[in-house]
Amino acid sequence: MRHLGLKARMAVVGSILFAFYAVAAVVVMAVFDWPLALVLIGSVAFVGVQYKLGKWMALRSVGAEDLPEERAPDLHRRVESLSRDMGIDKPRLMIASMGVPNAFAVGRKGAGTVVVSQELLRTLDDAEVEGVLAHELAHIRNRDVVMMVLGQGVASIVAIVAQWAVLLTGDNDIADFFLAIVVGQLTQMLVMLFVFAISRYREYVADGDAADAIGTGEPLARALEKISRGAERRESTVDDQAAALCIFGDRGGLASLLSTHPPVEKRIERLRG
């Protein structure tokens, strides 16, 4: 059975998210007198809009453009071959000028899109680019994007319901409005703790799948190493002033619990392990 560890973790996190959602649904049914069907339809519509809007916004935020086959025949051939090996339809391939080496996947299995930055193609050699592409294709195959949108959708619904519960039970004074906003934000954070825990594990799974698809984890490990070294160099010259503004830094403790990705060093270690 493939990805048994992931399935077991998904069962646990899925149950926790369902419990949060069920409480929110019961509150909505009790307070607004909505039938269950309306709550379910509303929830599906909410998550559906988030999915569509999120995909559109992600592509638009980086100014992604279609990468025609005649402009990058080699890249298209590699994506086609990797997609075949991984048992998915070839995704739409797009390119963007992001100012930094980057790549990401949006969409779902059968309707996925992979965006690569021009800087990524300039920074990495062919084997490293293939490692990155295989990792992004693994995200599409494992439905990681959909899972993140679904998790964010549940967290948003629970947060909105918590916010309204505070507002409707209060005196509508300024302290109640403040309390409602704060409770909404803290509730969303609490739910996202579980979503992020599974997301970090999914990154390792996508790394492992990429290594399986190309036969070795070394190219992806090299790519991660090269990009993170480049980012460190940029940070050390540009961000000293910014770092001084960070009171306790943004690593470790709560920050690492609220991370979508595991530390790069650990990923490289596993890819080479």
Instruction: Restricting to residues 1-40, name those near other proteins by CB under 8 A.
Output: none
Nearer to other proteins, 87 or 237 (CB): 237
Give the one residue of 43, 81, 118, 260 binding other proteins; rule: CB under 8 A. Answer: 260
Is 95 among the residues that bind other proteins (CB under 8 A)? no
Give the one residue of 1, 11, 37, 245 binding other proteins; rule: CB under 8 A. Answer: 245
Q: SS3 for 246? A: coil
**Cα distances (Å, whole numbers) of residue 222 to 32, 127, 212, 266, 272:** 55, 9, 16, 13, 10
Site string (181-220) toward other proteins, x via CB under 8 A: -xx-xx-xx--x--xx--x---------------------
Is 94 among the residues that bind other proteins (CB under 8 A)? no
- Catalytic residue positions, numbered: 136
**Cα distances (Å, whole numbers) of residue 99 to 152, 167, 189:** 28, 43, 30
Ordered alpha helix ranges (H), 72-125: 73-86, 118-123
Give the one residue of 115, 133, 137, 157 binding other proteins; rule: CB under 8 A. Answer: 115
DSSP string of 187-240?
HHHHHHHHHHHHHHHHHHHHHHHHHHHHS-SHHHHHHHHHHHHHHHHHHHHH-H
Name the residue among 114, 96, 117, 94 with its Cα closest to residue 105. 114
CA dihedral 215, 217, 220, 225 (to 10 degrees): -150
**Interface segment toward other proteins; rule CB under 8 A; list 27-35, 78-86, 87-95, 171-179:** 171-179
Backbone angles phi, psi at 101, to 5 degrees: -70, 125
Instruction: Restricting to residues 56-75, name those near other proteins by CB under 8 A.
Output: 57-58, 61-62
Q: What is the spatial distance between Cα 153 and Cα 148, in angstroms, rounded to a whole number?
A: 8
Is 114 among the residues that bind other proteins (CB under 8 A)? no
Is 111 among the residues that bind other proteins (CB under 8 A)? no
Is 149 among the residues that bind other proteins (CB under 8 A)? yes
Give the one residue of 28, 82, 95, 152 binding other proteins; rule: CB under 8 A. Answer: 152
Q: What is the spatial distance between Cα 75 and Cα 72, in angstroms, rounded to a whole number?
A: 5
Number of residues that bind other proteins (CB under 8 A): 66
Please state the closest distance from residue 34 (CB atom) to other proteins, in A: 25
- Kindly list the residues in this chain that would bind other proteins in the complex (CB under 8 A): 50, 53-54, 57-58, 61-62, 98-104, 106, 115, 120, 132, 145, 148-149, 151-153, 155, 170-171, 175-176, 178-179, 182-183, 185-186, 188-189, 192, 195-196, 199, 223-224, 227-228, 230-231, 234, 239, 242, 245-248, 250, 253-255, 257-261, 263-264, 267
